[in-house]
A and B are shown apart, each in its own frame.
Chain A
């Protein structure tokens, strides 16, 4: 079945350490997104990409970085510059176009040791 795979499901980061969250999709979708979810805050957009080798900052990009070298993959790196990284991270994808709903992975929960 087609879908979005996020790994790992749980991740722990030490102070000063960079960590990378994986997101892979086999839906042949052009657009991919990363959201951060905090209790009571809804989903906030970190980065999005509409095409390979191109991506744009969302509302809360500081302390994060992404790459889009392949259509299927959109990894997110949480850098040491992100001072409050503890959150639930969701990856989504959609076909190109504003009318298209987004499909979500099952998320990665990142915690600080």
Chain B
């Protein structure tokens, strides 16, 4: 069965430090992968998406993600975290026959001053 796993429930980083959030997928074929961000009490906002081609994709707010087929991973990165990046981040995979997404359980990011 298709699945998306985010191994880290909660991560804390210092402001200005680099960030990497992990995402692993289990799909039979090349998945379509997304990263979303959710602020408390809000909906989800799309950060970036990967469909094919260049394995390093750039998104909004200075985020990027790298697709690694050999590791079944699609990790999200940011070189320097800002306090406003504190939120919950969701990795999701698509490609199902019905067009629906499969979400990971999310990683909550806290930023220390």
Segment among B11-19, B39-47, B69-77, B79-87 that sits at the interface with chain A? B39-47
Closest to A98 in B: B99
* A25 on the B face (CB < 8 A): no
* A interface size (C-beta, 8 A): 31
Would you call B43 and A105 a contact (CB within 8 A)? yes
Cβ of B44: which chain A residues have Cβ within 8 Å of it?
Answer: 43, 90, 92, 102, 104
Dominant secondary structure of chain B at its interface with chain A = loop
Q: Give 1 or 0 for each of B78-113: 1 = CB within 8 Å of chain A CB.
A: 000000000000100011111111011110000000
Dominant secondary structure of chain A at its interface with chain B = strand
* B32 on the A face (CB < 8 A): yes
Would you call B94 and A99 a contact (CB within 8 A)? yes
- Between-chain CB contacts (< 8 Å), 20 pairs: A4-B43, A33-B100, A35-B103, A40-B106, A42-B90, A43-B44, A48-B99, A56-B98, A90-B43, A92-B44, A94-B99, A98-B95, A99-B32, A99-B51, A99-B94, A101-B46, A104-B44, A106-B42, A107-B42, A109-B41
A45-B100, A99-B32 provided; 7 other pairs, C-beta below 8 A?
A43-B44, A48-B98, A48-B100, A96-B99, A99-B51, A104-B36, A106-B42
